[in-house]
Amino acid sequence: MTRRRQSEAARHPEWSATESCAENTRRVLPGLVAEYFALGRALCGGEPSLSDLHDFRLAGKRLRYSLELFRDHYDPALTEFLADLRSVQRRLGAISDCTATVALLEEEGLANGNDGRRLIGFLMARERAHVAEFLGHWKTKFDSPGKAAAWARYLRRDAGGSAEPDQVDRKPRSA
């Protein structure tokens, strides 16, 4: 995945020792979410490979873990976003499970013969169905219009409980 080869600075944003935790989270977390949405859009805009889908699943885990570290700095709306993110990860996990099972069967030589070929065919059909389900969910639910911008505004505004007065949105729409 070419998106995987991001610069170290993009993957590890600077945390400033001179800023409070709230200031750092308001500055860093919106960028992480924006990067995740950009990766997802690039991935879902074409025909993603299974490897790219796996890499995106890992990117979602990293984002979720990062956000969970700062859960106490946000109101309960963050829980909605984390649940939406877990939903994306579950769909990607189902794809990964099929891929790993096929690889294991082939590695162990169990893909030979009629039964093995039928099982591989079944798993590959499930894998394709899971990919289609993920793509549909991403495009219609998780990345619905305005959602990425709403989450970026939310993360900029609510860290540490100090809302910026020019921000209007209180809570992003859930998927």
Higher-confidence residue: 70 or 56?
56
Least confident among 4-13, 47-56, 108-117: 4-13
In the prediction, which pLDDT does 112 show? Answer: 84
Per-residue pLDDT band for 24 (boundaries 50, 70, 90) equals: confident
> What pTM value is reported for the model?
0.80
pLDDT the model gives residue 157: 82
Domain boundaries, the chain: 21-161
Tell me what pLDDT residue 12 has: 59
Residue 119 has pLDDT above 80, yes or no: yes
pLDDT, mean of residues 136-159: 91
Q: Is 17 within 8 Å of 131 (Cβ atoms)?
A: no
